[in-house]
């Protein structure tokens, strides 16, 4: 075997963020850059000789080249077997499913999620552990530490593997199995949801849906599941062929970036149901006919209706949401008498709770919902869950959501993003907020009085690890909240996120546009944080 040890020097910027290492493609294309990070992953792990690794990505530009490098490095570092999705494709939830199903040691997922792709756009790489979930902070810290002291990496000299053939190949003494990217995942979905019932709905002729894969990874999954298995009309899946640059778009399922879908669902003769997912398939957006379902509400509604799906018919153990996610699900948990956990932003914080059996459903305001069927959030799972509920209840999306509000009250919610803000300005804003925290309690702004103001800190109830500085929270005495944090997933400048929430129990007042209902909160946020003055922007880049 021809294993080379290549001398290298550390790059000092390989610190994984909220979800792995994300950089522009040209950064990854620097000599040794990707190799260094992959070696840092391997150096931070122990006892994997002869074990199985899962590898796949969202198909963005540089996916195939990166996979060839990773395969040769896995072989040189002693893995016994690598499972790789056909064409180098695996959605993030499918990768999680395959890691778990095969008792793999872990997996490497190549994605920058919802960020644009292409030769000058984003690329990303993250490591998932044997439970199928994103590496926890202690692992990512170890990877970063390893990256800063790296002096060499090992790679096998061998021809490239044919990623398009479903087959087994030898790479040195390692086996590479190129597997069907969809099959295992499709089977798992079928075990959770009532496929015959959904099939009845989709083929009834009375129900029309559109699924927008935004030219990203869920195209093949959605076509196989909705059109081939569940009888949805051909063409139900739009933008269903994964493209290396996502067709030049931003593969992020929200009202701004999924504009084609929004036009259809808010246009004349709109279908009954619309959904979209992101670059790597873990996010989702749910729309009804001329109706947007806020992701925080979606989590609450799935929790309240969980027993309608066969996989959850015996009830759910508990729920978890990220701190900035609205408290709508807390109200469902209280009614069901189950625990509700509040964690920092980032799916990795749900892993321990799911492994310990404390929670079944989890969700985030950032268009992420999922359950303990895998250890990632799961876009198509959420779509199927909604379809299962719609098939059982025979009501429209809007009717289900408004009835939910009548029962539990409505948590008006909105997120304002200021993207590409100068990092120094953004840090100044956060520092000034932090400095005000001790004096905010008791202060009155308009009709609101501050009940508490802090920087969120989380102690993991399972392993006791502490994560500090997870976002500034300003809570008002009537239960309204404003949260400020800087995104951990951007690659250019800083993204300031402001999360706004208020609670409305009165059904007669639940029909407002959230921007109107939250108008005073929006002004208070600017008064306290001086957003316009400090960012130099007079409005957010994205409002969801
Ligand atoms: C990724 C993570 C999520 C997180 C989201 C937003 O999608 O998987 O868990 O909520 O990014 O993170 P950000 O730091 O950009 O707000
Ligand atoms: Zn994603």
Residues with CB in 5 Å of ion ligand 2: 113, 278, 280, 282-283
Q: How confident is residue 260, by pLDDT bands cut at 50, 70 and 90?
A: very high
Q: Are residues 404 and 335 in the same domain?
A: yes
Instruction: Decide if pLDDT at 310 tops 90.
Output: yes
Residue 31: burial class (beta carbons within 10 Å; 0-12, 13-18, 19+): exposed
> In 3-state terms, what secondary structure has residue 330?
helix
Alpha carbon of 279 to ligand 2 centroid (Å):
6
CATH number at residue 537: 3.30.310.50
Q: Is 488 in the pocket of ligand 1 (CB under 6 A)?
A: yes
Q: Are residues 260 and 309 in the same domain?
A: yes
Q: Are residues 128 and 213 in the same domain?
A: no
Q: Are residues 316 and 462 in the same domain?
A: no
State percent of the chain over pLDDT 70: 99
Which residue has a Cα nearest atom 4 of ligand 1?
Answer: 346
Taking the C-alpha atoms of residue 497 and residue 415, their distance in angstroms, rounded to an integer, is 7
Q: What Rg do the C-alpha atoms of the chain give, in angstroms?
A: 23
Among the atoms of ligand 1, which is closest to the Cα of residue 497?
16
Q: According to the model, what pLDDT value does residue 1 have?
A: 67
Domains in the chain, number: 3
Bridge partners, 453 (sequence order): 474
Q: According to the model, what pLDDT value does residue 123 have?
A: 97
Alpha carbon of 453 to ligand 2 centroid (Å):
31
Q: According to the model, what pLDDT value does residue 215 have?
A: 97
Instruction: Decide if pLDDT at 131 tops 70.
Output: yes
Instruction: Decide if pLDDT at 147 tops 70.
Output: yes
Alpha carbon of 345 to ligand 1 centroid (Å):
6
Residue finishing a domain among 153, 179, 205: 179
Cβ atoms of 126 and 217 within 8 Å: the answer is no
Cα–Cα distance list, 304 to 294, 298, 374 (Å):
15, 10, 20
Q: According to the model, what pLDDT value does residue 491 have?
A: 65
Instruction: Decide if pLDDT at 370 tops 70.
Output: yes
The helix (H) or strand (E) run that includes residue 494 is strand 494-504
Q: Are residues 360 and 236 in the same domain?
A: yes
For the CA of 58, the nearest ligand: 2
- Summarised one tens digit per residue, pLDDT across range 314-340 is 999 999 999 999 999 999 999 999 999
Q: According to the model, what pLDDT value does residue 236 have?
A: 97
Q: Which domain holds residue 306?
A: 185-408
Q: Is 364 in the pocket of ligand 1 (CB under 6 A)?
A: yes
Q: Are residues 485 and 353 in the same domain?
A: no
- Summarised one tens digit per residue, pLDDT across range 178-197 is 999 999 999 999 999 999 99
The helix (H) or strand (E) run that includes residue 476 is strand 472-476
Q: What is the ipTM of this complex?
A: 0.96
* Catalytically active residues, by annotation: 113
Q: Are residues 403 and 449 in the same domain?
A: no
Instruction: Decide if pLDDT at 272 tops 70.
Output: yes
Instruction: Decide if pLDDT at 348 tops 90.
Output: no
Ligand 1, pocket-test mutation among 345, 370, 497, 544, most atoms within 8 A of CB: 345
Residue finishing a domain among 129, 157, 179: 179
CATH number at residue 33: 3.40.120.10
Instruction: Decide if pLDDT at 344 tops 80.
Output: yes
Residue finishing a domain among 179, 194, 218: 179
Cα–Cα distance list, 411 to 101, 284, 385 (Å):
38, 20, 22
Bridge partners, 85 (sequence order): 179
Helix axes 33-44, 137-148, angle to 10 degrees: 120
Region 412-416: mean pLDDT is 97
Helix extents (H) in 337-486? 351-355, 379-393, 397-408, 423-440
Q: Are residues 157 and 190 in the same domain?
A: no
- Summarised one tens digit per residue, pLDDT across range 283-306 is 999 999 999 999 999 999 999 999
Instruction: Decide if pLDDT at 146 tops 70.
Output: yes
Q: Are residues 222 and 273 in the same domain?
A: yes
Alpha carbon of 199 to ligand 1 centroid (Å):
33
Taking the C-alpha atoms of residue 295 and residue 300, their distance in angstroms, rounded to an integer, is 9
Instruction: Decide if pLDDT at 173 tops 70.
Output: yes
Ligand 1, pocket-test mutation among 344, 366, 472, most atoms within 8 A of CB: 366
Instruction: Decide if pLDDT at 490 tops 90.
Output: no
Taking the C-alpha atoms of residue 506 and residue 78, their distance in angstroms, rounded to an integer, is 62
For the CA of 109, the nearest ligand: 2
Q: How confident is residue 429, by pLDDT bands cut at 50, 70 and 90?
A: very high
| Other beta carbons within 10 Å of 200 | 14
> In 3-state terms, what secondary structure has residue 64?
helix
Region 84-88: mean pLDDT is 97
Instruction: Decide if pLDDT at 464 tops 80.
Output: yes
Region 219-244: mean pLDDT is 97
Q: Are residues 191 and 284 in the same domain?
A: yes
For the CA of 343, the nearest ligand: 1
Instruction: Decide if pLDDT at 371 tops 70.
Output: yes
Angle at 472 between CA 470 and CA 473, to 5 degrees: 115
Q: Phi and psi (nearest 5°) for 232?
A: -70, 150
Q: Are residues 42 and 154 in the same domain?
A: yes
């Amino acid at each position: 075997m021809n294993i080379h040890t290549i001398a290298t020097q550390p790059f000092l910027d390989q610190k994984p963020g909220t979800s792995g290492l994300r950089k522009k493609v040209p950064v990854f294309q620097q000599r040794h850059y990707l190799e260094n990070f992959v070696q840092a992953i391997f150096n931070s792990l122990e006892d994997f000789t002869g074990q199985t690794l899962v590898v796949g990505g969202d198909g963005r530009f540089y996916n195939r080249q990166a996979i060839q490098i990773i395969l040769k490095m896995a072989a040189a570092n002693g893995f016994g077997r690598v499972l790789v999705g056909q064409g180098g494709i695996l959605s993030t939830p499918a990768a999680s499913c395959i890691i778990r199903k095969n008792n793999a040691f872990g997996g490497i997922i190549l994605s920058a999620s919802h960020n644009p792709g292409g030769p000058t756009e984003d690329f990303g790489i993250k490591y998932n552990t044997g439970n199928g979930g994103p590496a926890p902070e202690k692992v990512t810290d170890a990877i970063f530490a390893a990256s800063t002291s790296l002096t060499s990496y090992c790679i096998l000299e061998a021809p490239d593997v044919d990623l398009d053939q479903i087959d087994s190949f030898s790479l040195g003494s390692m086996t590479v199995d190129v597997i069907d990217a969809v099959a295992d995942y499709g089977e798992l979905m079928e075990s959770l949801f009532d496929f015959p019932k959904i099939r009845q709905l989709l083929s009834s002729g009375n129900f029309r849906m559109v699924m927008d894969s935004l030219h990203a990874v869920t195209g093949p999954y959605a076509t196989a599941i909705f059109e081939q298995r569940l009888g949805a009309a051909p063409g139900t899946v739009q933008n269903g062929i994964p493209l290396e640059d996502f067709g030049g778009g931003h593969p992020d399922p929200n009202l701004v970036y999924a504009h084609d879908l929004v036009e259809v669902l808010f246009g004349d003769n709109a279908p009954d149901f619309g959904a979209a997912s992101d670059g790597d398939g873990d996010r989702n957006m749910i729309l009804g006919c001329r109706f947007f379902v806020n992701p925080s509400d979606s989590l609450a509604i799935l929790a309240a209706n969980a027993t309608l799906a066969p996989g959850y018919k015996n009830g759910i153990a508990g729920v978890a949401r990220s701190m900035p996610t609205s408290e709508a699900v807390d109200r469902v948990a209280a009614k069901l008498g189950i625990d509700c956990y509040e964690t920092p932003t980032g799916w990795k914080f749900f892993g321990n709770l799911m492994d310990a059996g404390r929670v079944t459903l989890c969700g985030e305001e950032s268009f992420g919902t999922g359950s303990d069927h895998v250890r990632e959030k799961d876009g198509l799972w959420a779509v199927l869950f909604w379809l299962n509920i719609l098939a059982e209840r025979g009501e429209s999306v809007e009717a289900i959501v408004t009835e939910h509000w009548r029962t539990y009250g409505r948590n008006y919610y909105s997120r304002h993003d200021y993207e590409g803000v100068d990092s120094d300005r953004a840090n100044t804003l956060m520092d000034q907020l932090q400095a005000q925290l001790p004096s905010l309690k008791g202060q009155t702004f308009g009709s609101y009085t501050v009940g508490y103001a802090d920087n969120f800190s989380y102690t993991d109830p399972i392993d006791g690890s502490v994560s500090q500085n997870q976002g500034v929270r300003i809570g008002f005495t009537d239960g309204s909240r404003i949260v400020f944090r800087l995104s951990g997933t951007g690659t250019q400048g800083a993204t300031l996120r402001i999360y706004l929430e208020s609670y409305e129990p009165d059904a007669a007042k639940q029909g407002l546009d959230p921007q109107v209902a939250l108008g005073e909160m929006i002004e208070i946020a600017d008064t306290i944080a001086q957003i316009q003055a400090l960012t130099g922007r007079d409005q957010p880049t994205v409002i969801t």
